[in-house]
Structure 1
Amino acid sequence: MSASLHPFAELSPARVVGAIESLGLWLPGEPFALNSYENRVYLVHDDERRRWVAKFYRPERWSDAQIQEEHDFLEELSSASVAVAAPWRNDSGVSLHHVEGMRLALFPQLPGQAPELDNPEHLFALGEVVGQVHEIGQQRAFDHRRRLAPTLMANEARQTILSSQWLSQKQRAVYERVSDALVRCLEPHESAFKRCLRVHGDLHIGNILGRDSSFALVDFDDALMAPAVQDLWMLLTAQGPEERQMQLSEVIEGYEQALEFDRSELALIEPLRALRLMRHSAWLVARWEDPAFPTAFPWLADAGYWDGHLRELEQQRLAMSDERWLARF
């Protein structure tokens, strides 16, 4: 069933409250919708003044087994005192709830603000919590969640764009050329992605909350098997070499409080950046029929967006073609 015909697409405040209260909680107020496009996510509070983040999972994206692996990983991390939000479980130990054809989970709300990625103390603390996640993550593998496969995933994204109607004839020709070149740039790194562990998978600044150099990781929806650097490279935002080296040193020093970091994985940073660029635009195209997407991303329909995206891909191709790019790290 497509999302546009699914109860997921018609979640009213009353339906959200009814679904949560069917689990045995009572909500004296209305839910507050949070910024989330892949799933539908709401902030609620119950009659005991506990604040919860209610996640309604997008249909047909993950199987129940894949979602349960997310929840069980979070439970492992929480039991080891790693700063994450493990899902609420009812008296029967169930964390993934089925209500009116929807799949729902409740997470305790973690307060805090995003880190400052130019603050050495924050970077050290972030590296430390990621290292703690990976110390647990290496102890076993996911059975149902994906393994990061850059060439396969890049080709999937490429086909999504090329099978759509978003590009002009001229843009399509450019995209075919540059995306093919990027895929070929990814191929030599394929073997390095065989060394994988369980990771967060989408560790951008919006998925980190905390204060006073103490941070927690939230939203493990994209957890998968991947090299450790997948959870580190998006923390390295500096452009200049000195600032970049400072960021890298602090993150790795924090990380190695828990686990040794294999520095050969730094060679995967630009391939991972290329993959993310390709997959992001493909994700927007694939989700366009969801009513939330045209409202949130109206510029996708502008030819100027695609011109800019093509320039960005070309710049990334040049960066990966330059054998000196690793020296930046």
Structure 2
Amino acid sequence: MEIPGKEFYNRLDIDSVLSAVEDAGFSVSGHCLALNSLENRVYDVGLEEGGRLVVKFYRPGRWTLNQILEEHSFLKELEEGEIPVVAPLALENGVTVRETKGIYYTIWPLQKGRLVEELDKNNLVQTGRLLARIHNIGASKQATYRIEYNLKNFGEEPLRFLKEKEFLPSHLWKRYEEAANRIFNSFFEASKDMPFHRIHGDCHKGNLIQTADGLCFIDFDDFVTGPAVQDFWMLLPFGDSASEYEREIFLEGYREFREFRSSWFDLVEPLRGLRYIHYSAWIAKRWEDPSFPNAFPHFGTEEYWEKETQDLERLGSDLPLSPEEDGRNSFQKTEESELTNKDFFWDMED
């Protein structure tokens, strides 16, 4: 079944981008630069009177209109709670989502800032406080349309897709499936009686910036209903006594505003495992998009699946993970240059 808007999305060009921004009520200068995003199409657009905006075209078939609007509503709640986030611009009649040829798009302010590459003691406390405040608002009401971070959505369905499409070599499938099922069982046990509420969903250092006004969380494109610890484990270090010390500093800030039980960290390893499976399925589902083979040239090779299987098997054991594991857990950059939305929409989750 063909997804409406998919053909236009795949051949989206500069003229179409500029026309969409003009249709939204802005006079453009002609400047249009494609930005760093795989999941969506994102562009830096110059305005005739000076200044720039960012326009984001959502991948057709990924989110419904109600799901996109619920993200924007959550961001509005956070803004009203004086939490620093980047929210879309409200256009004519308060509309935040427009449509062109079957594609939803939104327009955002160009927010400048620097990535927080390392969380020092002060940043750890501040980040903990901010996340707690986000979670307080997240827990204040239920999401109606956004998905839940559960086994079905982030484990069983991605695993089923990989199996049905036969992405794994046949001789590795049994090992991979057995390792996945162990992860599923661990998640089920560790998440019992754990509160689920609205969370960021993709909370790594690439989505935390230092602006002139302080720390700011960005890119809520993957916001879901899930456990608080999902917003911790990609942001915080794990594995040694120094990591425990840093986590405690973070929790000092978090617990000023919200409860967090140390036992909830037991969910971290299962969450890592779900990310392995979901991440591979995400790439596989997008493989017909020409940008994905270019971005992931080793995906699908024998070596790729052997490492994926081994790392999935190692989770929960005392064996070390492969170096590639860090690359899946965090998409932070190392350059010191000032960043804008060019790096803010690095949508590495489905």
State TM-score, norm by structure 2.
0.85
| Deviation at residue 218 of structure 1 after TM alignment | 1.1
Written as runs of structure 1 = structure 2, the 5 A alignment for 1:88-237 is 88-150=89-151, 153-193=154-194, 195-211=195-211, 214-237=214-237
C-alpha separation between the residues in 1 aligned to 2:191 and 2:130? Answer: 27
Q: 1:121, 1:213 within 8 Å by CA — same for their partners in 2?
A: no
Structure 2 counterpart of 1:253:
252
C-alpha separation between the residues in 2 aligned to 1:74 and 1:107? Answer: 12
Structure 1 counterpart of 2:325:
none
Local SS of the residue matching 2:29: coil
- Where does structure 1 lack aligned partners over 5 or more consecutive residues? 321-329
Question: In structure 1, what residue type is equivalent to 2:270?
Answer: P
For residues 8-42 of structure 1, the C-alpha deviation after alignment (integer angstroms, 9 at most, x for no partner) is: 11111111111111101112132222221111111
Local SS of the residue matching 1:171: helix
Question: In structure 2, what residue type is equivalent to 1:47?
Answer: E
Say yes or no: does 1:8 pair with 2:9: yes
How many residues matched? Answer: 318
Local SS of the residue matching 2:99: strand
| Deviation at residue 89 of structure 1 after TM alignment | 1.0
| Deviation at residue 140 of structure 1 after TM alignment | 0.7
Local SS of the residue matching 1:31: strand
Structure 1 counterpart of 2:263:
264
Local SS of the residue matching 1:244: helix
C-alpha separation between the residues in 1 aligned to 2:21 and 2:276? Answer: 36
| Deviation at residue 259 of structure 1 after TM alignment | 2.4
| Deviation at residue 5 of structure 1 after TM alignment | 4.2
- Where does structure 2 lack aligned partners over 5 or more consecutive residues? 320-350
Local SS of the residue matching 1:188: helix
C-alpha separation between the residues in 2 aligned to 1:187 and 1:133? Answer: 25
More helix by share: 1
Larger relative contact order (C-alpha < 8 A, sep ≥ 6)?
Answer: 2
Local SS of the residue matching 1:298: coil
Report the RMSD for the aligned CA atoms in angstroms: 2.1
Written as runs of structure 1 = structure 2, the 5 A alignment for 1:56-75 is 56-75=57-76
Q: 2:113, 2:212 within 8 Å by CA — same for their partners in 1?
A: no
C-alpha separation between the residues in 1 aligned to 2:6 and 2:230? Answer: 35
Q: Which one is further off, 57-66 or 174-183?
A: 174-183
Local SS of the residue matching 2:234: helix
Question: In structure 2, what residue type is equivalent to 1:14?
Answer: D
Change beyond 3 A, Cα 1:256–1:213: farther
Percent identity over the alignment?
33
